[in-house]
Structure 1
Amino acid sequence: MLGLAQLPFAILYAVADGFYVLLNYVIRYREKVVLENLRNSFPEKSALEIQQIRKDFYRHFSQVLVETLKLAAMTDAELRRRVVIRNPELLSGPFAEGRTVLALGSHAGNWEWILPSGALEFPGRAYGVYKPLSNSFFEDFLYRLRTRSGAKLIPMRDTLRDLIRRRGEGRAMSMLTDQAAGPEDRPYWTTFLNQETSFYTSADRLAAQFNCPVVYVNIQRVKRGYYDLIIEPLHDGTTPLDKEAFVLTEAFARHLEKSVQAAPAAYLWTHRRWKHKR
C-alpha cells in the first residue's frame, strides 16, 4: 500500500475512477443499503435523482479511498495546502484556558483527513476517540495514518478515564458520532433525514460533567483533493447543561442534517445508519 501511496494524485485519481467502475457497475457495493438509505432520507426526490446521488456517492467514496491511502506518503506541507481550517479560534481560545473541547464530526467529506489536519494546526492538542478494529492489519494501518501528524488516539472504552487523567490540558477530543447507537448505548431518538434515528449521547454527558466547550466539525470538498474544515460552535462550556435534555445531541443532528442535505453524495451511505428501531 505504501508503494501505491507514493503515486502522484493525478494517477491515484485515475485509480479512483477504476474503483468507481468496480463499486458502481461490477460488484455494486452495498447497493441495496445505499438505495434504501437514500430513498428514505429524500422521499421528495425522483427515482432518477436518487440514482444520480448513488452514482455521485460511489465516485466520491472512491476518491476518499485513495485520498486516505495517500496520507501514508503525503507531506505535512501538502496536507496543510489541501485542508483549510475555518474558525480555528473556536479551539485555540479554550486551549489557552486549559480546556478540553469536544469536536463532533461525522462520516462525510473526507473524515480521515480531519484528525491529521487538526494535529498540524494544533500540535500536541489533537486527540481522536476511535473503536479499534478486529482485523490487526487494518487496525495497524489506520492507526499509523491517523497519528501520522502527531495526533493521539483514545480507545472508545477509555474516553472517560482519559478526560479525568488529562483534566486541565488544553486539547480537542474528536468524536465521529453519526453511527447507529444501539439500545445498550442509551441513545437519544430524534427525526433525522425524515427518519426516526438513534444518536450517541456521550457528548451531552461528558460536556455536562467536565464543562467542555463543544463544536461541530464539517469537512466540505471544495474541489477534488481540496477541503474546507469548518468549525461551528455548539456549546461554550460555561452554561450549565442538563445531561438528560440532550440539547447538544439534538444540535449535532440538526447541523449534520443540514450538511448532508447540502452535499448528499459526500455522506457515507453504505453503513446501516437506521438498523435500530425505537
Structure 2
Amino acid sequence: MQLLVFILVYPLLWLISILPYRLFYGFSDFVFFWVYRVVGYRKDVVQQNLELVFPEKTETEIKDIQKKFYHHMCDMFLEMVKTMHLSKEEVKKRYTVKNIEVIQEIEKEKTILVVCSHYANWEWNVSMNNYVSSKGYAVYQKISNTYFDRWIKNVRARWNTTLITKEETAKTVLLNYKNNVTGIFGMVSDQSPQWHRAHYWAEFMGVKVPVINGAESLARKMDLAVVFLKVSKVKRGYYNAEFIPITTAGSSTEKNEITDEFLRLAEQQIREQPEYYLWTHRRWKHRDKVPVEFQ
C-alpha cells in the first residue's frame, strides 16, 4: 500500500516541482482557494490560536492575519515540493544569508546547534549548508511511508544535508566529538511535547506551555554552541536568514537559559510578521494543565 501511494502521488509532485514560477504560484493561489475558502482546513484552530495570543487585536485584524497565513502556508508547502528541482544557484538567489560569517567563525572550533521555529520556509533553511564547511544535519520526524521518507532524504542530500531523528542526534554529536569532527545540527524547536513528559513549562506568546528543551540539554552536557536562525520573508518566494548567537559555550549557561532565550527570539520574530508562523499547530493545547511548580 505504501508503494502504491508513492507511485500515485510522486508524479504529481514532480510535475508541480518543474512548473515555471508564474504557473507555480498561480497553482498555489488555486490551492489556497480550496484550502481556505472551500475546505476551511483547521480554520477554527488558527482563529483560536490567533485570538489567544493576540487578545489586543480586533476581529478584522485577526481575519487579515489568518488569510495572509493561509496564502503563505500554501506557498511554503509547495516550495518544499519545488526543492526537488531547485539548484544551488537558484536557492542562493531565493534564500539569502545575512551574516553567515557568524556560523563560519564558530564552526572552526565548536559543533553548532541551529535552532528555529515553524516560521517562514524552514525546508529551505538547510540550504545554509551551501556556505559552510562542517557537515550539516537536520533533525526530523521520520515519515511512516518508507518510500516518501527515502525521497525526503534524497532531496535534502542535494544540499549536503543528512537527516537524522531526534533519537540519533546525541550519539551522532558524540561520535563526531570522538573523531574530532565539528558539525551543524538544525532543529525546529517549538513543537509541543506531551504535557506529562515535559520537564519545563514557560511562557510563549503570553501563554504558559510545556517546552521541549532537548537542544539545551545537549548543549549543556556537551558544551555546544547554540545559534537562533531568524528568517524573514522578503516577498513571495524570497527569504532572508540571520544568525543570532545564543551561546558559544553551552556548559557555561544556567539551567533553562538557552530555552528561555530561544522562546524570546522566536516570539519576537512571530510578532514582527505573525502571518508567517504555522498557526495550524495546536501549540497551546496544554495551557490548562500547567503543573503547580510552574504556575
TM category, shorter: over 0.9
Q: Per the alignment, do residues 139 and 238 of structure 1 end up closer, same or farther by CA in structure 2, a change over 3 Å counting? A: closer
Corresponding position of 1:17: 29
Counterpart contact for 2:221–2:250, Cα < 8 Å: no
Quote the offset at 1:183 in angstroms.
3.5
2:112 counterpart (101, 104, 111): 101
Show the 5 A alignment for 1:151-162: 151-162=161-172
Counterpart contact for 1:94–1:170, Cα < 8 Å: no
Q: Per the alignment, do residues 238 and 56 of structure 1 end up closer, same or farther by CA in structure 2, a change over 3 Å counting? A: closer
RMSD between aligned alpha carbons? 1.5
2:80 counterpart (59, 68, 73): 68
SS at match of 1:72: helix
- Larger deviation, residues 124-133 vs 180-189: 180-189
Q: Per the alignment, do residues 173 and 265 of structure 1 end up closer, same or farther by CA in structure 2, a change over 3 Å counting? A: same
Counterpart contact for 2:113–2:215, Cα < 8 Å: yes
Corresponding position of 1:139: 149
Whole-angstrom distance in 1 between the partners of 2:252 and 2:111:
16
1:232 counterpart (244, 250, 254): 244
Amino acid at match of 2:161: A
Tell me the alpha carbon deviations over residues 77-127 of structure 1, each in whole angstroms, 9 at most, x when there is no partner: 001111111221221112212x21010011100010001x11211255211
Instruction: Identify unmatched segments of 5+ residues in structure 1.
Output: none
Counterpart contact for 2:216–2:250, Cα < 8 Å: no
Whole-angstrom distance in 2 between the partners of 1:202 and 1:15:
38
Whole-angstrom distance in 2 between the partners of 1:148 and 1:274:
35
Corresponding position of 2:45: 33
Corresponding position of 1:2: 14
Quote the offset at 1:218 in angstroms.
1.5
Instruction: Identify unmatched segments of 5+ residues in structure 2.
Output: 1-12, 291-295
Show the 5 A alignment for 1:60-209: 60-97=72-109, 99-115=110-126, 117-123=127-133, 125-167=135-177, 168-183=180-195, 185-209=197-221
Whole-angstrom distance in 2 between the partners of 1:28 and 1:123:
44
Q: Per the alignment, do residues 92 and 184 of structure 1 end up closer, same or farther by CA in structure 2, a change over 3 Å counting? A: farther
Corresponding position of 1:252: 262
Amino acid at match of 2:17: A
SS at match of 1:172: strand
Whole-angstrom distance in 2 between the partners of 1:196 and 1:122:
37
Whole-angstrom distance in 1 between the partners of 2:62 and 2:27:
25
Whole-angstrom distance in 1 between the partners of 2:27 and 2:243:
31
Amino acid at match of 2:46: V
Give the structure-2-normalised TM-score.
0.89
2:69 counterpart (42, 57, 77): 57
Amino acid at match of 1:250: D
Whole-angstrom distance in 1 between the partners of 2:251 and 2:203:
26
Quote the offset at 1:140 in angstroms.
2.9
Amino acid at match of 1:166: N
Amino acid at match of 1:193: M
Quote the offset at 1:241 in angstroms.
2.5
Tell me the alpha carbon deviations over residues 34-90 of structure 1, each in whole angstroms, 9 at most, x when there is no partner: 111110010000111111111000000011122111100111100111111122122
Aligned pair count?
Answer: 274
Between Structure 1 and Structure 2, the one with more helix by share is 2
Quote the offset at 1:186 in angstroms.
3.2
Tell me the alpha carbon deviations over residues 8-45 of structure 1, each in whole angstroms, 9 at most, x when there is no partner: 11111000001111111000011111111110010000
Give the structure-1-normalised TM-score.
0.94
SS at match of 1:131: coil
Quote the offset at 1:158 in angstroms.
1.1
Tell me the alpha carbon deviations over residues 222-266 of structure 1, each in whole angstroms, 9 at most, x when there is no partner: 111111011101012176124xx2100000000000000001000
Quote the offset at 1:185 in angstroms.
4.3
Could you say which structure has the larger radius of gyration?
A: 2
Whole-angstrom distance in 2 between the partners of 1:217 and 1:185:
27
1:48 counterpart (53, 60, 65): 60
Whole-angstrom distance in 1 between the partners of 2:47 and 2:183:
39
Give runs of ≥4 in structure 1 deviating > 3 Å. Answer: 183-187
Q: Per the alignment, do residues 238 and 193 of structure 1 end up closer, same or farther by CA in structure 2, a change over 3 Å counting? A: closer
